[in-house]
Amino acid sequence: MKLKCIAVDDEPLALGMTCAYIEQTPFLELAARYDNAVEALRGLHELEVDLIFLDIQMPDLTGIELARVLDRGRNLKGPRIIFTTAFNQYALEGYKVDALDYLLKPFSYEEFLGAANKARAYAKLFAQNEQVPAAPAGIKTTEPEDDYLFLKVEYQLVRVAYQDILYIQGLKDYVKVYLRNTPHPLLSLSSLKSLEEKLPSRRFMRIHRSFIVSLDRINAITRNSVLIEDKTITVSEQYKDEFNRFVNRWTN
């Protein structure tokens, strides 16, 4: 699998180095290079690329601004971004626009290759999830349900088994995913609503504006709360009807 790339940087030496690194990496293909983000945006209307190596500090349109533009109109098949910058204070902003990685200038080829390998792993993972075997004509098939999901934690995708999830807490732009036998939760840039849509409803339930719980991990139930290990989580009024239906099934 080859990843088609573009490089965007207003510094000629930095742009040349990034392009040289791309060209010497067997699984990368350099499709174009740009010395400003405005031209890159125009080019992306005509080019289909998998990966963008993007500087942040540029005139007219910064790399962060370009990433936000792409993020608003991007589907899962859209290009991924690896930021290249001399300023480490942009790390959080890069995380918020779902960048795959963040290379701090001047970076070595080894560091570049590490980031490129993350992009290749992401592309392979996405391709595997997209491949659905065609069923013979006239025969209906039932696909097995996934028993895991992938969370973006810092600059990597982490595979999390459903059976390991205790509960999930929403914190504005982030979620904390609490796992069994794990002392610290995973912190992921996501919304509770988006996870609620991904998780199978037969195994997980939202019982509060800020909490989704694993039904398999509930130790005890009261009229207004559930106990999971040593954590008591209140059932809010908005979710009581659905919760009561679950309790009725549990007790009958």
Q: For residues 71, 75, 80 and 83, what is the CA-based torsion angle, rounded to 10 degrees? A: 0
Single out the residue of 171, 167, 147 nearest to residue 159, CA to CA.
Answer: 147
Calpha distance 66→44 (Å, rounded) = 11
**CB-count burial class (<10 Å; 0-12, 13-18, 19+) for 157:** middle
Q: What string of pLDDT tens digits covers the 252 residues of the chain?
A: 899 999 999 999 999 999 999 999 999 999 999 999 999 999 998 999 999 999 988 988 988 888 888 875 555 567 889 999 887 665 555 555 677 888 888 999 999 999 999 888 888 876 765 544 444 444 444 444 568 888 888 767 788 999 999 999 998 778 999 999 888 999 987 888 888 988 998 899 999 999 999 999 999 988 889 999 999 999 999 998 888 888 877 665
User: Who's near 124: CB < 8 A, 6+ residues apart?
Assistant: 1
User: Who's near 9: CB < 8 A, 6+ residues apart?
Assistant: 15, 18, 35, 53, 54, 55, 58, 84
Does residue 169 contact residue 213 with C-beta atoms inside 8 Å? no
Residue listed under structure tokens 């997980």: 204
Residue listed under structure tokens 């679950």: 246
Single out the residue of 185, 179, 239, 178 nearest to residue 208, CA to CA.
Answer: 239
Query: What was the pLDDT predicted at 91?
Result: 52
Structure tokens belonging to residue 119? 């992009």
DSSP for 89-102 reads: GGHHHHHHTT-SEE
pTM of the model: 0.59
Calpha distance 173→24 (Å, rounded) = 38
Query: What was the pLDDT predicted at 86?
Result: 81
